[in-house]
Amino acid sequence: MSDIPIKLEGVWKIFGTRAEEAMAAVRSEGLSKNEVLARFGAVIGIADVSFDVHWGEIFCIMGLSGSGKSTLIRHINRLIEPTAGRVEVLGRDVTRLSEPELRAMRSQKIGMVFQHMALLPHRSVRDNVAYPLEIRGAPKGRRWEISQHVLSLVGLDGFEDRFPDEISGGMQQRVGLARALASDPDVLLMDEPFSALDPLIRRQLQDQFKALSEQLHKTTLFITHDLDEAIRLGTRIAIMKDGRIVQIGTPVDIVTNPADDYVRDFVRNISRLKLVFAHAIMEPLTSDSAEKFAQSPRVSQDSDLDHLVDVAITTPHPLVITNAEGKDIGVVSKDRLLRGIQGGK
Amino acid sequence: MIYRTRENSSQSVADAVPHIADSVRAFAVARGDYYARVMIRIQSHAGFVATFNWGAAVFGPVWAAARGLWGLFSCFAVLELMALVQLSRGLFSDLGAVPRARADRLGENYERMLARVQAARDQGDETGADALARNAERLQAALEKALDQAQEAAAAGVELVIFGLFAFVLIKGIEGISANIAYEKHYSRWRADKRVRAGFQWTGAAVGAVFVAAVYSIALYGFTVAEPVAFIHTFPADKTHYQMLAAAIDRVFDQTATDFGVFFDGIARGIRFLLDGLEVVFVQTPWPVVMVVITIFAWRLAGPRVAIFTVAALAYIALLGFWEKAMETVSLLGAASFLCVAIGIPLGIWFARSERVYAVARPVLDLMQTLPSFVYLIPIIAFFGTGKPPGILASMVFGLPPIIRLTTLGLREVPKDVTEASRAFGATRWQTLTGVEMPLALPSIMTGINQTILMCLSLVVIAALIDAKGLGYDILAALQYAAKGQGILAGFAILFCAVVIDRLVQGGIKQKKGPR
């Protein structure tokens, strides 16, 4: 097994009949998106995207509609062919796979969940979940056994014999997830799986999915247009704009260190309570202050703002921050705490 | 007081909403101020607004052409032409010419008759002279009548002139009143779509004027001149082209029939084989067995009510002695529908996959359904002769389009994300087709099958023309001998066949859809 389950290197996708020409021109002349459209009638879907996804992580790709995120995820299982670049999944270059090899990889190594569920309306829940196994030619007994198992994983025991239009949207998407898990793939591709659901159900499914992914230890590429969702689920987040990746980082990186105005705009309304930690907002202690803060409560430097607020409301004094050895290293006043919550104005 | 709409209103609204006035001016170009005023008046009233456009009234179609209102142009031109034809017939054409010619002829005959009377008198033949004199009197009466008619016809010319004149003035009035209303609509279209012709176009006026001049003069010439040049009334067609082409087509058909004789025979034999199998089932199996089986099918597929109806229909057919012929028809139909489905579904799948192929196929399918069936009976007879297999082929020409169309439609309506999901899980194209696309397209395909069967049935009577026998033959015979009773009875037999088959297939479709 390779070290990096998903690896993209300089992936480009240009749509249009003159994509190859356009690609060459982009390479040699560095044309912009609009110039390519004007000269070749071609649309740049993905522009020079590279990233690695590590084992067991949930890698979120966040972008608005039209940013190319859904196009990008379809490169992983080659539902869309890249114009240029290299897509490596589990150590193999998917663009070089033969048809049968590609089908084998799709049916055994990669599970996919779709925005609009894409369940087969003429099949029961059980047969929907078993569809990937059926394609592989698994006998019926085995198909039923496995589908029973994955349905219980997503909490749908007892719904096996229903049809998709008889269950709610949230349940339908859990069927979609179960179907993706049925062939026990190493990689999960989630294309905006929860965006069609109402907020309450979405939250529920996010929590359920997070727990499940930790339990099953799948590597997940997760597409979303919702930064909240990306922060809640993502181990790391890549922000896409106009087919390019603007920034890759952990949720904390993204929120505290936005790469440009575009990202800054996005993170403005994100709650920082769980993402920013004491050491990021504290003032260093001066040598003479030890006595000044004798009354202050001591808080570890790894506490998040949420915890600091909890402590701060119990005391009139500023909070003193301690390092791993319990030594005082900084101080957080209430003013500073409030500014920290706001985002360090 | 922006929205004051009484007297003086057009001016005040024009001032208050200057952008409309400006845009109308930009639109109308020539006489912009007039149109700005008129259109603001039209737009500020909800109902009909009476305005009179003198330019439109005087120049009629030419005005419309200059302003780019080509629909209005043809309306005006046709109306004016109608009035002008009446007017010019009254003014210039010799309406009394025909009766007057007759009167002249009668007059000559009368003179001659009088001469003969005189001659008879001179010879002393009194009785003969009396008889001739009576003849002469009759001729005289006829002559007077003809002269009256000639006078009347000449008087009718005055009426025509009056009517034509009145109509012409009326049409001019309509033109003047409707012009601004139509032009305002044109302006509204132009506001939303700048490709619409705006302004006053000299080229449009010229084209309109030339067209009007040409059409008016040819029409007026044709109507007024007593004996116009022949080609005005009869298209100068050349018979030899027609005969040459027909002969060439004959040759092509004959040649193809001999060159590919083996091929056509092969097809006919294949169909014959299929048909023989079906006839064994329907015709040669003892009737009680067939009847019971059909009834059971009706019960299972469509429920007890359809089963009862089926029994009644079958009883009608059997009691009136149509059983054997009906079963022949059903075999014919079965073979035709089977072949349609067997050929149509793969074609439908192909057309669903390829937009380009479908673009070529669509007009062919339209043609197959619109071509009068007698037309394609001709090549079918040429290649396959007469009998049942050619009858089946003729039915297929009519029956294939629905199944092809509805298969294509059904497959195209399969949601893209579902087929994508199937691919994402590693399905082959065949697996996606059979496991996802066909099941989802099935309701549409079943409707197609049903329509195909009924289309084939509708051709049964026509197929009887080329000796395909069955119930159609009875209708044909009844038609030949004007045997009303026989024809109606046989017609009902076909109707019952159709309804039973339709109910059975519909029941089958519902059952397919029912559990899912």
For residue A268, the model assigns a pLDDT of 80
- CATH code at position B428: 1.10.3720.10
Q: Alpha carbon of B28 to those of B23, B37, B52: distances in Å?
A: 9, 12, 16
Answer yes or no: do B439 and A116 touch at CB < 8 A: no
> Rounded to two decimals, what is the model's pTM?
0.72
Percent above pLDDT 90 for chain B: 24
For residue B403, the model assigns a pLDDT of 94
Tell whether the model's pLDDT for residue B1 goes beyond 50.
Answer: no
- The verdict on B373 and B492 lying in the same domain is yes
Residue B25 lies in a domain: no
Q: Please name the residues between 409 and 448 in chain B that touch chain A, using a CB distance below 8 Å.
A: 415, 417-418, 420-428, 431, 435-436, 439-440, 442
Q: Which residues of A touch B428 (CB under 8 A)?
A: 103
Answer yes or no: do B425 and A179 touch at CB < 8 A: yes
From the list A232, A131, A237, the residue with the least C-alpha distance to A180 is A131
Q: Cα–Cα distance between B87 and B160 in angstroms, integer?
A: 6
Neighbours of B197 (CB within 10 A): 13
Tell whether the model's pLDDT for residue B463 goes beyond 80.
Answer: yes
Q: Residue A46 belongs to what H/E stretch? A: strand A43-53
User: Where is the domain boundary, B185, B208, B236?
Assistant: B236
Closest approach of A173 to chain B, Cα-based (Å): 13
Q: Cα–Cα distance between B516 and B510 in angstroms, integer?
A: 9
Alpha helices, H only, B60-201? 61-66, 70-92, 97-123, 126-192
Are the beta carbons of B447 and B406 closer than 8 angstroms?
Answer: yes
- The verdict on B85 and B146 lying in the same domain is yes
Residue B248 lies in a domain: no
Average pLDDT, chain A: 86
Neighbours of A22 (CB within 10 A): 25
Q: Decide: helix, strand or coil at residue B48.
A: coil
Residue B148 lies in a domain: yes
Q: Cα–Cα distance between B465 and B386 in angstroms, integer?
A: 9
Answer yes or no: do A116 and B417 touch at CB < 8 A: yes
Radius of gyration of chain B (CA): 37
Band (pLDDT 50/70/90 cuts) for residue A18 is confident
A35 and chain B in contact, CB less than 8 A: no
Tell whether the model's pLDDT for residue B514 goes beyond 80.
Answer: no
Answer yes or no: do A122 and B516 touch at CB < 8 A: yes
- The verdict on B308 and B397 lying in the same domain is yes
Q: Cα–Cα distance between B233 and B475 in angstroms, integer?
A: 42
User: Where is the domain boundary, B166, B201, B236?
Assistant: B236
- The verdict on B283 and B217 lying in the same domain is no
Tell whether the model's pLDDT for residue B5 goes beyond 50.
Answer: no
Tens of pLDDT along A61-117? Answer: 998 888 888 888 999 888 888 988 889 888 888 888 899 999 988 988 899 999 888
For residue A296, the model assigns a pLDDT of 84
Percent above pLDDT 70 for chain B: 95
List phi, psi (to 5°) of B30: -75, 140
Tell whether the model's pLDDT for residue B145 goes beyond 80.
Answer: yes
Answer yes or no: do A120 and B436 touch at CB < 8 A: yes
Average pLDDT, chain B: 86
- The verdict on B226 and B262 lying in the same domain is no
- The verdict on B228 and B289 lying in the same domain is no
- The verdict on B449 and B409 lying in the same domain is yes
Band (pLDDT 50/70/90 cuts) for residue A344 is low
- The verdict on B228 and B361 lying in the same domain is no
Token pair for residue A273?
């309570």
| Domain count for chain B | 2
Q: Which residues of B touch A112 (CB under 8 A)?
A: 421, 424-425
Q: Cα–Cα distance between B440 and B433 in angstroms, integer?
A: 10
Tens of pLDDT along B198-256? Answer: 888 889 999 999 999 998 888 888 877 767 777 777 787 788 888 999 899 888 888 88
Residue B242 lies in a domain: no
Residue B23 lies in a domain: no
Answer yes or no: do B426 and A107 touch at CB < 8 A: yes
Closest B-chain CA to A123:
B516
The predicted complex's ipTM stands at 0.82
Residue B379 lies in a domain: yes
Band (pLDDT 50/70/90 cuts) for residue A302 is confident
Q: Nearest by CB to B440, from A121, A163, A179: name it.
A: A121
Residue B117 lies in a domain: yes
Q: Which residues of B touch A120 (CB under 8 A)?
A: 418, 421-422, 435-436, 439-440
For residue B210, the model assigns a pLDDT of 94
Q: Nearest by CB to B425, from A106, A115, A121: name it.
A: A106
- The verdict on B60 and B192 lying in the same domain is yes
Answer yes or no: do B417 and A103 touch at CB < 8 A: no
Sign of CA dihedral A192, A197, A200, A204: negative
- The verdict on B221 and B283 lying in the same domain is no
Sheet containing A219-224: which strands, arranged edge to edge? A110-113, A187-191, A219-224, A58-62, A236-241, A244-249
Answer yes or no: do A136 and B417 touch at CB < 8 A: no
Q: Average pLDDT of B19-26?
A: 85
Task: Give the amino acid at B385.
Answer: G
Are the beta carbons of A263 and A87 closer than 8 angstroms?
Answer: no
Residue B290 lies in a domain: yes
User: Where is the domain boundary, B201, B236, B271?
Assistant: B236
CB under 8 Å to A138, separation ≥6 — which residues?
A130, A146
Band (pLDDT 50/70/90 cuts) for residue B17 is low
Are the beta carbons of A234 and A58 closer than 8 angstroms?
Answer: yes
Token pair for residue B104?
């002249």
Q: Cα–Cα distance between B96 and B104 in angstroms, integer?
A: 12
From the list A132, A266, A262, the residue with the least C-alpha distance to B426 is A132
The neighbouring-strand residues paired with A241 are A244
More confident: B134 or B461:
B134
Q: Residue A25 belongs to what H/E stretch? A: helix A19-29
Answer yes or no: do A103 and B428 touch at CB < 8 A: yes
Q: Alpha carbon of B14 to those of A201, A275, B49, B190: distances in Å?
A: 58, 63, 16, 19
Q: Which residues of A touch B413 (CB under 8 A)?
A: none
A75 and chain B in contact, CB less than 8 A: no
More confident: A266 or B57:
B57
| B261-279 helix and B388-412 helix, angle to the nearest 10 degrees | 90
Q: Nearest by CB to B417, from A118, A132, A163: name it.
A: A118
- The verdict on B230 and B260 lying in the same domain is no
Q: Nearest by CB to B421, from A104, A118, A183: name it.
A: A118
Residue B76 belongs to domain spanning: 50-236
Tens of pLDDT along A136-187? Answer: 888 988 898 999 998 988 888 888 888 998 898 888 988 998 999 888 899 9
Closest B-chain CA to A163:
B516
The neighbouring-strand residues paired with A60 are A222, A237
- The verdict on B59 and B159 lying in the same domain is yes
